[in-house]
Amino acid sequence: MSVGSLSSVQKAVRESVSGLPREFWWLWTSTLVNRLGAFVATFMALYLTLERGYSASYAGLVAALHGLGGVVSSLGAGVMTDRIGRRPTLLAAHVSTALSVALLGFMEHPTAIAAVAFLVGMASNASRPAVQAMMADIVRPEDRIRAFALNYWAINLGFAFSSMAAGFIAEYSYLAGFLGEAVLTLACAVLVFRKLPESRPVRSAASGAADEERVSMGTVVRNGRFMGVVGLSFLIALIFQQAYVSLPVAMGADGFSSSDFGVAIAVNGILIVALQIPVTRFIEHRDPRRLLVVSSLLAGYGFGLTAFAGSLGVYAVAVCVWTLAEIVNAPTQTGLVVRLSPVHGRGRYQGMYTLSWAVAALTAPLMGGQIIDRYGAEWLWAGCALLGTVAALGYWLLMRGLPAEDPKAVAVPAERAADVSA
C-alpha cells in the first residue's frame, strides 16, 4: 500500500470515529465485551445435535423457546427503558443473562434445557431496547447512522473472535463456553455500572405527564408506517436467523464439524469488521429506501445460494453475500426506527422493533428445523430467497414519501438536566 493510500485510509478512519461523545464509546465497549462472550446463540444447535444427540426438530424447539423468551421481554424491557431508565434496565439484563447462561451449561434433562434456554432468551434480549435508546439519546441525529454502524461493527468484531475460539472450545468442552459467556456478560454489567450515566431524556414539569400519556404502547401500534417497518424487519430477521440454527444443522448433516461451522460463520464477522466503516461512509447520506431494498435482495439470495454449497468454500461465499446485506441493513434500519420514534417513547419503539427480531428468533428455528427434516435444506434456502424478494418490494412501497428527519429531535439526558436549566 502506498503512502498516499495509507494516509487516505487513516483519514477515513478518523472521520468515521470522530465527533462522537465519550458515553457512546463506553456503550460501544460494553457491546464489544458482551459479544466477545457470545456462545449460546451460535452453538446451541450444534451442542444439542452433535454433543447431546437430539434431532434437528428438538434443536429448533429449544432455539424457539430461546426466542420466545425474547418475545416476552422485548416490550417489557422497552417500557422499563422509558420508565425506570436505560442504565437500570441494562444492569438487570446483563446480570440475569450471566446467571441463566451459567445455569444452562449444567442442565441435563431435555425439559430443563428447554426451560433455561427460555430464561436465557428473556434475559439476553432485554438489553437491546435500552442500548438502542441510549445510543439515540447521546448521539446527534446526523451521526446516528455512523454510530449504529460502529456499534454493529463492535458486535461483529467480538463475534469474529468469539465464534472461531468457541468453535474450537466446543470440541473440548461446551461447558467452558457457557461459563465463559457468563463471566464476560458479568464484566459487561460491571462496565455499565461504573462508566455509563443514565441518558433518559428529562421532561419538563408542565409536559411530563402529558408526554407519558401520549406515548404508550397504543401509540406505537397505531403508527402505521412504523408497524410496517416492524413487519418487514420480521421478514428480514427470519432470513438472518437461519445462520444460527438451520445453517449449522445443515452443515452438520453434510459432514462438517463444529469448527468448520465456526470458520464459515466467522467470515460474517470478519467481513463486517473489514467493511462496515467504509461501506457506512458510502451509504450514510443515501436514500434509505434503496438501501433497504438492495439489502433485502442480497439477504434472500445470499441464503438461497447455500442450496448449491457442497464445500466449505462455497458456504463461505454464500456467507459473504448475505453479510453485505447485514452491513447495509443494520444501521439503515435502526436509524429508520429512531427517525420514526418520538423522543420520550424511544424505549417503547425500540422494544417493538426488538420484538420483530425476537418473534423471528422464535419462528425461524421451528420453521427451519421442520423444513429440513421433512423436505430438505434446499427448500429452506429457496424460501429465504422468496422472503428477501417480498421484503424488498415491501420497503419500496412503504417508504414512499418518507418525511425528513427533524434535526431538533435531540433529547437532553437526565444527568445533564441541571446544566441545561442553570
Output the CA–CA distances (angstroms, integers) from residue 19 to 14, 22, 142, 398, in the order listed. Answer: 9, 9, 11, 33
User: What value does the mean pLDDT of the chain take?
Assistant: 82
Report the predicted TM-score, pTM, of the whole model to 2 decimal places: 0.76
Q: How many CB atoms lie within 10 A of CB 60?
A: 27
Helix, strand or coil, per DSSP, at residue 196: coil
Amino acid at residue number 341: S
Please compute the mean of the pLDDT values over residues 32-50 and round it to a whole number.
77
Chain centroid to CA 46: how far?
Answer: 21
Q: What is the 3-state secondary structure (H, E, C) of 117-139?
A: HHHHHHHHHCHHHHHHHHHHHHC
Q: How confident is the model at residue 199 (pLDDT cuts 50, 70, 90)?
A: confident
pLDDT of 374 strictly over 90: no
Q: What is the pLDDT of residue 4?
A: 52
Average pLDDT, stretch 234-253?
A: 87
Q: What are phi and psi of 201, to 5 degrees?
A: -60, 145
pLDDT score for 325 = 94
Q: Percent of the chain beyond pLDDT 90?
A: 21
- d(CA 99, CA 219) in angstroms, rounded, equals 35
Return d(Cα 355, Cα 233) in angstroms, integer: 10
Check whether 418 has a pLDDT greater than 80.
no
pLDDT at 412 over 50: no
Neighbours of 2 (CB within 10 A): 7
Distance CA(285)–CA(62), nearest Å, equals 41
Residue 103's pLDDT band, with cuts at 50, 70 and 90, is very high
The radius of gyration of the chain from alpha carbons, rounded to an integer in Å, stands at 21
pLDDT of residue 211: 47
Contacts of 299 (CB under 8 A, 6+ apart): 236, 239, 240, 322, 325, 326, 329, 384, 388, 391
Label each residue of 201-248 as H, E or C. ECCCCCCHHHHHHHCCHHHHHHCHHHHHHHHHHHHHHHHHHCCCCHHH
Q: Is 288 helix (H, G, I), strand (E, B) or coil?
A: helix
User: How many angstroms separate the Cα of 59 from the Cα of each of 62, 249, 269, 366?
Assistant: 5, 9, 24, 9
Lowest mean pLDDT among 34-43, 152-161, 175-184, 200-209: 200-209
Q: Which fold has domain 21-200+219-404?
A: Growth Hormone; Chain: A; (1.20.1250)
Quick count: other Cβ atoms within 10 Å of Cβ 322? Answer: 27
Instruction: Give the residue-averaged pLDDT of 291-320.
Output: 91
Which of 33-47, 150-164, 355-369, 388-402 has the highest mean predicted lDDT (pLDDT)? 388-402
- Provide the pLDDT for residue 277: 83
* Domain boundaries, given as residue ranges, for the chain: 21-200+219-404
Higher pLDDT, 331 or 400: 331
How much is the pLDDT for 134? 92
Residue 342 to residues 214, 269, 315, 401: CA-CA distances in angstroms?
10, 32, 42, 19
For residue 208, pLDDT beyond 90: no
